[in-house]
Chain A
Amino acid sequence: MDTWIEETLPMVFLAVLDGTVTAFVLALIALGLSLVFGVMRIVNVSHGEFFMLGAVFSWFAYHWTADSVWGFVLALLIAPVIVGFIAVFSERFILRKVEYNPESTIVATIGILYIIQQLTLMGFGPEARPVEAPIYFRVSFPWFGYSGYKLLVAVMSGLCLCGIWLLLKRTKLGLYMRATQQDYEIATTFGVPTKKIYASVFALGGGLAALAGVLVVPIRQADHLMGLEPLLLSFIVVIIGGLGSIRGTIIAAFLIGISDGIISVFYEPTLAKMLATLFVVMILIIKPSGLFGENYQ
C-alpha cells in the first residue's frame, strides 16, 4: 500500500494531469480540422503548418517587442488573423481552383504544407526558438511540481472551445456554417453565401490552429517542423471522433490525450502512439464514420 501511494499514485495523477492538458490543446487543433472537413468535405493536410505559423509569428512578436510579454498578447491577437488571411488566400487561389475535389485538395494541401514549411525554413531558420511564457509559476504537488502556465493553457483552450461552440450555435455565421454542412446546394438555394462560408470556415480552421500554436509555443519552442505531430494526432482524433462532428472531436481528444498520458507513464510513449493508431484502424473497420460521425457517402 505504501509503495502504491509513494510510487503509483503520483504516476497516475501526473498521467491524468498531463493527459488533460494535452487533450485541451489537441481538441483546439483538431477542431479546426474537423470544422473544415465537416463543412467543406475536404482533408486539409496543411493544417499542422497553420499551427506552426501561429508559433512562429508568436516568436516574431516576442522578438519585435524586445522579448517582452506584450509580444505574447500581440501574437494572441494578430497571429490567428494573419494565418486566417493566409488560409483564405490559399482557399481562394488553390482549393477553389481545384473545385474542392477530394483527391486534388489532398495533393494541393500537401503542396501548401511544403510551401509554408520551406518558406518558414528560409525566413525563420532551422533552429527551435523559445518564447517566454507571459505568466510563469510552478505549482507544487506533494510529489513533484508542474508548470502553472500549462494549466493556464488548458483553461484558455477550454474557453476557446466554448467560444467556438457559441459561435456555431448562437450566431448567424454559425447557422450558415451548419446549413452549409448539412446540404451545400439547399443552403445555396436558400441564400446562404456558401462560397464566403467556405472561405470563413477555412480561415477559422487555420486561425484556431494558429491560436493553439501561440498558446503552446511557451511550453515548447517554435520550429519549422513542429506542425507534423499535431497534424497526425488531429487526424487520429478527427477519425475516431467522427469526421465533421464537433462533439466527437472533443471527446476523442480527451480519449487520446488521457490514454496517451497513462500509457506513456506506465509503459512506453511509442506504445501509446501504436495503440492510438490501432484504435483508428479498428474504428475504420467497425464504424467508419467514427464514434459520433454522420454517415458520409
Chain B
Amino acid sequence: MMSKKKDENVDQQSELNLTRRSVLGASAAIAGAGIIGSQLIDPVAKTAYAAGSDEPIRIGFQAHRTGIGALYGRWYERTTNAAAKYINSIGGIAGRPIEIITEDDGTDPKRGADVVEKLATKHNVDFVYGTLFSHVVMGSAPRAGELKIPYFVVSEGYHVASGALNRYVFQPCITDVRSQITAVSNWIFGNLGKNVALIYPDYAFGYDHRDYASAAAAKSGAKITAKIAIPPTASSFTRYFVKIPKNTDVIYHVMVGPGVLTFVREMGEHYGTRHPKLFGFIDSLEGVNINSPGLEFLDGSHFWEAMPRYADGYATSGSNFYRDKVGVDNTGASKSDSKDVSAYSHMFGCWETLFAIKEAVEQSGYKSKKDYKTLIETFEGFAGFNEGIAHPQGSKVFSGKTHQCYGQQFVSQVKNGKFNVVHRTSIADGMYEPETDYTKKSL
C-alpha cells in the first residue's frame, strides 16, 4: 500500500498518470477501514441532470479580504468566482444556478464565527465555505456546528482530520499538513540528508509541522537537530540561525507571513556560500515572485508544492483548463499583472471544493436545508474524486471518517529563476490511519 516512488523524475508533460485504478487501490485502505459502498466521482462528465428550479444554491464564502490572510484571500476569491462562473456555464448545481455571497472575516477567529452566523442566518445560505487560516477555522467551526450548517474549509490544517471539530465540517479537496509531511519526508531524508533542523511558525500550523516532521524522522532514522519556533510577528531572524547546530544537513523551513523575504536574505547573510541544504514549504512564498531581490539564496533549494506554480510542472488538460479559467499565466502570476503572483498551491482547493459540493448536492438530491442529513451522509460515503477539470490538482481519496482528503504532492527545485518539479508522490505516500470517526457523531 505504502509504495514509494523515490527519486522518480516526473515526466513533465505526462497526462494524468493517476488512473482510476490507482485511486481505487488507495481508497481500498479506507474501504477496508470501514467505508463500504462508496463511489468515485467524476462530476464534469455527467452534466445531464434534470432541470432544477431557478432558485439559486447560495454558498456563503468566508473570505480573508483583510488581515494577515488578505493575499491568500484575494486569490481564493478570484478562484471561487471563476469556479462559480464556470459551474453556472455548464448548468449550475442540479440545474440551479450557484450564487456566491462573500463576507470578510478579517482573518480573525472571532469575526470568523460572526461571519458564519451572518451568512447562515441573515443571508440564509445553503452552505458556508472557503476558510483558509487554521485559527479562523478553529474559531468558526463550532458556530457552524451549533447552527447545524455544513462548513467546507480549504485550510490545510490537521484540525479537521484530528477530530477536534464537528460533523458539519469538511475539508474535501486540500490535503492536511500531516499528510503533506508524511508524503514528502522520505524524499527529504533520502535525498537531502538525515540531520534536519526545523524552523516553523510559533502557532498551531507550525506545531503540526514540528510534530509530524519529528514523527516522520523518528520512523526513518533521521535526526532532528533543532526545533526553532519563530513568533509570527518576528521581523528579524538573524538570531535564530545561530541556534542551528553545525552538524545540520538540511534546514526544513516553513514560514508564513510578510517576513519571508527577510528570513531568506538573512539566512544568506548568515551562512554565505557554505550552508546546509534547504527544504521549504511553498506556503512561505505564496504570492511572492521567486525572482524577488533577496531570494537568490534559495537557488538550488527544494520546496513542497501542492500544485506546481509553473505550468510545465504538471501540464495535464485539467490543470491547463483550470489555470486559464482562474486567469493565471504559465509562471503562476495573474495574466493581467505579472507582478501579482498567485497562491497556486492552495487556491485550487476552492475550485475543487465547489465541484465537490456540486457533486454532493446532485448525488444526495439536496433541495433545501432540511436535506442536510442526507447531504452529509452522501458526502461521507464518497471515496474520492477523479482528476480532471473539476479536480485539476489530481485525484483525491476521501475519508468519510475524518472528513479529509488525501492527494498527491510535488517536490520542486528552484533553478534558473523558476520552480522545477523533480518528484511527485503517490496519494498513498501521504496516507495515515484515521484518528477519528465523524460518522459516529450526532447531527
With A18-B236, A146-B269, A225-B68 known to touch, is A127 a contact of B262 (CB < 8 Å)? no
Interface centre among A221, A223, A226 (most CB of B within 10 A): A221
Question: Is B235 in contact with A226, judged by CB distance below 8 angstroms?
Answer: yes
Q: Which residues from A are CB-within-8-Å of B243? A: 11, 265
Q: Beta-carbon contacts of A131-156 to B below 8 Å, as 1s and 0s?
A: 01000001010011111000000000
Is B74 in the interface zone, CB < 8 Å from A?
yes
CA distance A128 to B70 in the complex (A): 11
Given the known inter-chain contacts A18-B236, A144-B270, A226-B235, please indicate yes or no for A221 contacting B262, CB distance below 8 A.
yes
A248-291 to B contact mask, C-beta < 8 Å, 1/0:
00000000000001001100111001000000000000000000
In angstroms, Cα B294 to Cα A145, docked, is: 15
B216 within 8 A of A: no
Q: A147–B261 contact, CB under 8 A?
A: no
Residue among B234, B242, B293 with max Cβ neighbours from chain A (10 Å): B242
Q: Most B CB atoms within 10 A — which of A126, A143, A221, A229?
A: A126
Question: Of the candidates B66, B238, B258, B269, which one forms a contact with A221 in the assembled complex, judged by CB atoms under 8 Å apart?
Answer: B258
Q: Report whether B233 and A15 are in contact in the complex, using a CB–CB cutoff of 8 Å.
A: no
Bound CA–CA A265/B202 (angstroms): 15
Among B229, B241, B242, B293, contact of A130 (Cβ-Cβ < 8 Å): B293
Instruction: Contact check, A126 vs B262: say whether CB atoms are below 8 A apart.
Output: no
Q: Which residues of chain A are near B265, meaning CB under 8 Å?
A: 147, 219
Q: How far is the CA of A226 from the CA of B68 in the complex (A)?
A: 11
Q: Is B109 an interface residue (CB 8 A)?
A: no
Interface of A is mostly: mixed
Contact assessment for A229 and B66 in the assembled complex, using a CB-CB cutoff below 8 Å: no
* Residue B400, interface by CB 8 Å: no
Binding site for A on B (CB under 8 A): 66-68, 70-71, 73-74, 202, 229-231, 233-236, 238-239, 241-243, 258-262, 265-266, 269-272, 287-288, 292-294
Q: What would be 24 A-B contacts, judged by CB atoms less than 8 Å apart? A: A11-B242, A14-B242, A18-B238, A18-B239, A118-B66, A126-B74, A128-B260, A128-B261, A143-B242, A145-B270, A146-B269, A146-B270, A147-B266, A220-B235, A220-B259, A221-B259, A223-B258, A229-B233, A229-B235, A265-B239, A265-B242, A268-B229, A270-B202, A273-B231
| A interface residues (Cβ-Cβ under 8 A, vs B) | 10-11, 14-15, 18, 22, 118, 121, 125-128, 130, 132, 138, 140, 143-147, 219-221, 223, 225-226, 228-229, 261, 264-265, 268-270, 273
